[in-house]
Amino acid sequence: MELKKIFPDLYEENLRNVIEQEGTVVHLEQGEMLMDIGGFIKFVPLVLEGSLKIMREDKDGHELLLYYVKAGETCAMSLTCCMGDAQSNVRAVAEEPTTLIAIPVRYMDLWTNQYQSWKSFVMHTYQKRFEELLETIDGIAFQKLDDRLEKVLKSRVDMAGSNHLVVTHQELASELNSSREVISRILKQMEKRGMVKLGRNKLDVLF
């Protein structure tokens, strides 16, 4: 398996062996939900390919994008499950066709004791997600919607590795906890300024 290439920080060979031994490879179609809010976390996902979208939802069904989990990463929320309540407070959806290794949570605590590289991987994950949550907070609290939309577009371009995005206004609106009309309005303004080129179900980012 290409575990070594995708997760170079897990440098202990023994660790990689147990991961392959105890983990289950799972494949998700685009849009498939891996975990819903309130669901019980029974495993930790190590993403091999594709990406997961982690989001939060309020009582009225409004969504908000928290961050993406890409290849070589894992979800910080699921790491906390080894202690106390194992219920998820976020939703995880495959943003594209995605392959991951599911590790039963019972190994979490054990491995952090046994494998230095696993411990440091977990710690780094916490730190990274923490910073991302802080950025998300900055975005909502301090930035205006157009800036936030730009940021989402940029990050999608990065992930897709292409300026050509296949996405609807509605999807963008959901990620930003806004409404479709508002996003259409802002995108139109951006098009007038030459920042994007709009199409049906797609748009080209030009900045």
What tokens appear for 143 in the block?
């930035």
Identify the DSSP state of 40: B
The residue with tokens 């219920």 is: 87
Count of residues touching DNA (by CB under 7 A): 22
64 is a site residue for DNA (CB under 7 A):
no
Nearer to DNA, 91 or 169 (CB): 169
Q: Contact, 196 vs 178, CB < 8 A? A: no
- Give the start-end residues of each E strand in the chain: 24-28, 33-35, 43-49, 51-57, 63-70, 91-94, 98-104, 164-165, 196-199, 202-205
Q: Which residues pair with 102 in a beta bridge?
A: 24, 45
Does residue 98 bind DNA (CB under 7 A)? no
Residue choice 124, 164, 188, 193 for contact with DNA (CB under 7 A): 188
Rank residues 80 and 99 by Cβ distance to a copy of itself and give the closer one.
Answer: 80
Name the residues that contact a copy of itself, by CB under 8 A.
56, 58, 60, 62, 64, 66, 76-77, 80, 82-84, 89-90, 112-113, 119-120, 123-124, 126-127, 129-131, 133-134, 136-138, 140-142, 177
- Does 138 engage in binding with DNA (CB under 7 A)? no
Q: Which tokens is 60 given?
A: 């009225």
Which of residues 131 and 158 has its CB atom nearest to a copy of itself in the complex? 131
Query: Given the complex with a copy of itself, which of 183 and 203 has the nearer CB atom?
Result: 183
Dist. CA 84–CA 98, nearest whole Å: 29
Residue 90 tokens read as: 């976020």
**Residue 195 contact partner, candidates a copy of itself, DNA, none, CB within 5 to 8 A by sort of partner:** none
In whole angstroms, what is the distance from residue 155 CA to residue 8 CA? Answer: 23
Q: How far apart are CB 166 and DNA at their closest, in Å?
A: 9
Residues that bind DNA (CB under 7 A): 144-146, 168-170, 177-182, 184-188, 198-202
